Structure 1
């Protein structure tokens, strides 16, 4: 799936000077790496190739085509494919030519063109052609996942302008991110799909131009990828030191706890730990004490977006803003952090957390100028008050918050009758359900249920498997889910899919909240059309404030470190990427460490 790398171009920035073609696009400033660079700083060009890595995936899979809505896509499926350009992991938004050897951008930003590398090949030996690029664009837009229609909505034409050159023309000149978006286009082999339907799920390996091919498929159980030894792109400077593992195998588990125990028993090699409980209490085993399992905290600067309980506005019970605010008062984050998160993480207070795009303090003059046209149509607090989620003292006593919540519910037409919160007009009880796919999140939800019960609300939990969860969320069939809205340093087109009215009823869209608000729609367009970095920051912060003060979600938490655990057979570059972890494409099996680990029995017991 496309990365969320939308952004705003500088009116007189580097793109304006690239009509003749360049090796890279830098949306702000100039590319860090010049046309003669040898490798990315965070990649080790001397990293040895080899070894097999076993990883964990959850649930199951029934599809190897990662570009459609149907089915459950196998972990790692995008390793088979390549895009026209690739972003670097130590710059905010800079794209370097991958399949494309050069990128040209119109001075008025009305078009972008890409010239393919003559050596670019699919892994069946056939060349990557301009016809493949045009076919991929048209097919993804017409038959691919709905997100592609959002990304490419402002692209009016794709045409072949040279033997290896494709030009994309845009509807206007104010959607500044489109050159970057088009660089992220996955290029698929037209000749393969001439004889097979694109939109159908498949377990037959697909042909791509990427560094790996599918080597073995055990449906629903495991999938293995093999590095392409003679891969056409292996000697490109942007690929030196990358894709070092010979084989990558993903084994599927249906229970997180079983998966955790399997890791400690040596069934797979690497784990990105997201459970504070596991990180704090679960690694007290001999393999850790003896150094066979390594634990590291790797700092990063990734924007964290928003993880939260998402309230589905398609359900009448959540349509009143006061109800949504009242529910926020019943979630005791401070108690949860102390007792369930072991003091790790920090409360999320923005849809753009851990970045300069997050709103804080009172609105700036630039933000107020954007917000003023919507006065009376958006919450009054947007103009005056920094957003803060409700707080408690962490003792578990939420009496003051409960009183506030009940007051808000009463204003919205709900009152306690016989200890049940009841709609005054209809007599219906206040009732809803949390839909979960990770059973371990029950420990977070259960204390919340007790607080909801104190307010007379009947709430329950339903845990389903990954296939059912995907189907239900694609079709918005839930009351409350736990969702994460990932963000980049330059938000843009993808914001339409998250928040705009046109996406609320489109199956598979990311507007899981169901927002239909003209003010939000207008602010999203301000973000997309921002002419420079300062304007982008102001527009994003203004949008953030409106989203927050509408109480669409109950925010969770975020962090600025990756917590990883791995069997001690790996090494990684001395220079870490600023953004992202990069395990599968930057780490390698260290022969010396691997031999040492192999020579001593893995200590997995208590």
Structure 2
């Protein structure tokens, strides 16, 4: 896993509630502070990790790559300028990308999809391409990655990117002040040294050989001048400070309007604006994310032209909008266009997660019975109108690393009752709910988010579960409270989806016992909160496989272990896979333009690639035609060149 994706991997694809401050530019709680002395003291105290050498110490025979042999991304027709308006369902809790709440989903909009790391992945070929480093090489033992920084690479505040900024990345990530234990563990475990050779050249040494060394060693810079006040009050001090970016967009203090909107502004004279892989991307001058609480309200604003694109963070635009409202005048006249794009990207592991620390749910046969008691097929048919397909495993979409041997347990009340009988639940109560000899009923709370798709599904699941002898109490919560409850491990069953990034599946945070329980001095164990092991899986056999997976030296071994882990997780019935979609689709005003081939292959959502642009001439033409009652003809595009072939 790349260090950049640490919090994203750990984040449920849900956002959190706002935490308000009156002014981003001044806060008397935090007087000026300079950590230069302590930072440099830390570097000097660990000379085996923070190394300073000269260019003469570079190994001979390094083969430097430049990665300029890949096709351009984007479209030469793209125009710079204009404002892109989009909706955001919740206001983010912070602009930090490290520390508490740093993994909120708005992080992608202002950091993950914007920031330029040492290297970047080409979104069509998945080859490595230049980032803030314009040359890179690998040691003979494949444990050390070498980089030469682009001499023009600068932050949005004009400060040049320096080698020391990568030293700062390790200093902060490993510090307890960051309050980011997952990141700290990763940075401690995966790396043994960072070395400066000159003002442009550095290397990062890993503790072991990795299948793709650059994927692990692709560290993002932490501008030293910005983090000069990093200390024990870091989460609060930096809560609303936007880090200067190496990417195309920044957030100005005056553009954070709490509870209303956040606006990104394109960096003037951005250093990468003419680089091969960036010159036709990041085209809009401004991107405005407006807080809109419901999809119905978003759709209303979209029809009014206040939002340029209407989509869903779940990739699949619900049929209630895609099908039922396909005959609105704006679509029939071609002012709004329909767009479907088949992508290749790990699927959101959208599942019912079973908390094994709760009463009865610690019994395997009860969990197996629940798998057969959830009528996923009917939800896909009725609610999703067969636009999705059943997800067979929580790690779908990882290519060779997804086991082809797995098949999700189908809805079958008879099989569910057989499993429940093995657990001792054989006697039906007056309402049909099974109970055991002690009178304990098969009754559980299913927590779902307050989205129509899940509330509708909940009714179907409740009805289907009763046929299997289970009482499902549907608890509808807003996204913030649902996330909090799951992280505190207070749920029985919860519907959730997590971030997934190519190229490899991540198992430790979801299944390892390290993230389920904390061992106490007396030998007992305590539930560990604020981790992504919300199934509370703690299986010695699975732990062993996961530990081996983390140390896998090549992709063949990674594949073998991935399959074994996925198959063991299914045996344990840890979560109930729901559905997946092989594409994303949305509606957009015709002035929002796209490349001729639609988008880039390796994108989760349409906007992630930033290959789109606003055409102000087409916008003026469209608005004038609407005033005159003219249309352009209905447009519905399907880009299926990357669709999986049967």
Alignment of 1:179 onto 2:179: no
Structure 2 CA distance for partners of 1:350 and 1:466, relative to 1, 3 Å: closer
Match of 1:567 in 2: 589
Residue matched to 1:198:
234
Instruction: Tell me whether 321-330 or 105-114 shows the greater mean CA deviation.
Output: 105-114
CA contact (8 A) 1:434 1:479 kept: yes
Contact 1:256/1:438 (<8 A) preserved: no
**Are the equivalent residues in 1 in contact too, given 2:211–2:554 (CA < 8 A)?**
no
| 2:639 corresponds to | none
Q: Tell whether 2:155 aligns with 1:122.
A: yes
Separation in structure 1 between the aligned mates of residue 556 and residue 197 of structure 2, nearest angstrom: 35
TM-aligned CA deviation for residue 308 of structure 1 = 1.2
The unaligned stretches of length 5 or more in structure 2 are 10-58, 518-527, 630-646
- The 1:343/1:467 distance shift into structure 2, 3 A limit, reads closer
3-state SS of paired residue (2:446):
strand
- C-alpha spacing 1:198/1:40, structure 2 compared with 1 (3 Å): farther
- 1:149 matched to which residue of 2? 184
Aligned residues: 545
- Kept in 2, the 8 Å contact 1:414–1:421? The answer is no
**For the residues of structure 2 that align with 1:191 and 1:564, how far apart are their CA atoms?**
41
Partner of 1:20: 62
CA distance, structure 2, for counterparts of residue 80 and residue 573 of structure 1: 19
Name the residue aligned to 2:338. Answer: 295
Report the counterpart of residue 537 of structure 2 in structure 1: 515
- For the 8 Å contact 2:79–2:614, the answer to whether it is kept is yes
Give the SS at the match of 2:234: coil
Structure 1 distance, partners of 2:60, 2:403, is 34
1:170 to 200, 206, 209: 206
Q: Which SS does the other structure have where 2:345 is aligned?
A: coil
Q: Is the 8 A contact 2:81 2:283 kept in 1?
A: yes
Correspondence for 1:460: 473
1:579 maps to: 602
Q: 2:222 aligns with which of 185, 188, 191?
A: 188
Aligned-partner Cα distance in 2 for 1:122–1:161: 22
**Structure 2 residue aligned with 1:14:** none
Question: Using a 3 Å threshold, how does the CA distance of structure 1 residues 21 and 525 change in structure 2: closer, same or farther?
Answer: farther
The answer on whether the counterparts of 2:251 and 2:264 sit within 8 Å (CA) in structure 1 is yes
How far is 1:150 from its partner? Answer: 4.7
Partner in structure 2 of residue 9 of structure 1 = none
Aligned equivalents of 1:313 and 1:543: distance in 2? 18
CA gap of 1:489–1:343, structure 2 versus 1, over 3 A, is same
Matches within 5 A, 1:472-483: 472-483=485-496
TM-score (norm 2): 0.78
Describe the shift of the 1:407–1:598 C-alpha distance in structure 2 as closer, same or farther (beyond 3 A): same
1:82 to 116, 119, 126: 116
Kept in 2, the 8 Å contact 1:430–1:457? The answer is yes
Deviations 1:235-265 (A, max 9, x none): 2222121101110011112223322333233
1:484 is aligned to 2:497: yes
Cα distance change on mapping 1:186 and 1:253 into 2, 3 Å:
same
1:416/1:456 contact within 8 Å kept: no
In angstroms, what is the RMSD of aligned CA positions?
A: 2.8
User: Which of 490, 493, 498 is residue 510 of structure 2 equivalent to?
Assistant: 498
In 1, are the aligned partners of 2:351 and 2:394 still within 8 Å (CA)? no
Separation in 2, partners of 1:388, 1:465: 28
Secondary structure in structure 1 of the residue aligned to 2:145: strand
Corresponding residue SS for 1:162: coil
Q: 1:222 aligns with which of 238, 261, 279?
A: 261
Between the aligned partners of 1:462 and 1:507, the Cα distance in structure 2 is 21
Contact 1:21-1:105 at 8 Å conserved across structures: yes
Which string of whole-angstrom CA distances, capped at 9 and with x for unpartnered residues, describes residues 299-342 of structure 1? 11223253211112222332222111111111122322222111
2: CA distance, partners of 1:47 / 1:209: 22
| Cα distance in 1, alignment partners of residues 436 and 474 from structure 2 | 26
Secondary structure, aligned partner of 2:565? helix
Aligned with 2:307 (options 262, 268, 271) = 268
Q: 1:264 to 1:244 in 2, by over 3 A?
A: same
Separation (CA, whole Å) in 2 of partners of 1:243 and 1:324: 47
Structure 2 Cα separation of the partners of residues 448 and 18 of structure 1: 64
Alignment of 1:43-442 (within 5 A): 43-70=74-101, 74=106, 76-78=109-111, 81-92=115-126, 94-142=127-175, 143=178, 145-152=180-187, 153-173=189-209, 175-183=210-218, 185-195=219-229, 197-200=233-236, 202-215=239-252, 216-273=255-312, 274=316, 275-304=318-347, 306-354=349-397, 355-361=399-405, 387-391=407-411, 401-419=412-430, 421=433, 424=436, 427-440=439-452, 441-442=454-455
Aligned-pair CA distance for 1:214: 0.8
C-alpha displacement of 1:507: 4.2
Q: Please, which runs of 5 or more residues in structure 1 have no aligned partner?
A: 7-16, 25-33, 362-385, 392-400
Distance 1:317 1:147, change over 3 A: same
Paired with 1:287 and 1:302, the residues of 2 have a C-alpha distance of: 31
8 A Cα contact 1:176 1:528, kept in partner: no
Deviation at 1:553, TM superposition (A): 1.4
CA distance in 1, matches of 2:116, 2:262: 19
Range with greater deviation from structure 2 (277-286 or 338-347): 277-286
Query: Which has the higher mean CA deviation after the structures are superposed, 499-508 or 322-331?
Result: 499-508
Cα–Cα, structure 1 residues 469 and 336, in superposed 2: closer, same or farther, change >3 Å?
A: closer
Q: Which shifted more, 100-109 or 439-448?
A: 100-109
SS in 1 for 2:427: strand
User: Are the aligned partners of 1:277 and 1:341 in contact in 2 as well (CA < 8 Å)?
Assistant: no
Rounded Cα–Cα distance in structure 2 between residues aligned with 1:476 and 1:18: 53
Which whole-Å CA distance do the structure 2 matches of 1:353 and 1:340 have between them? 22
Corresponding residue SS for 1:566: strand
State which of 448, 469, 472 in structure 1 corresponds to 2:461: 448
Distance 1:123 1:207 in 2: 5
The CA deviation at 1:124 is 1.6
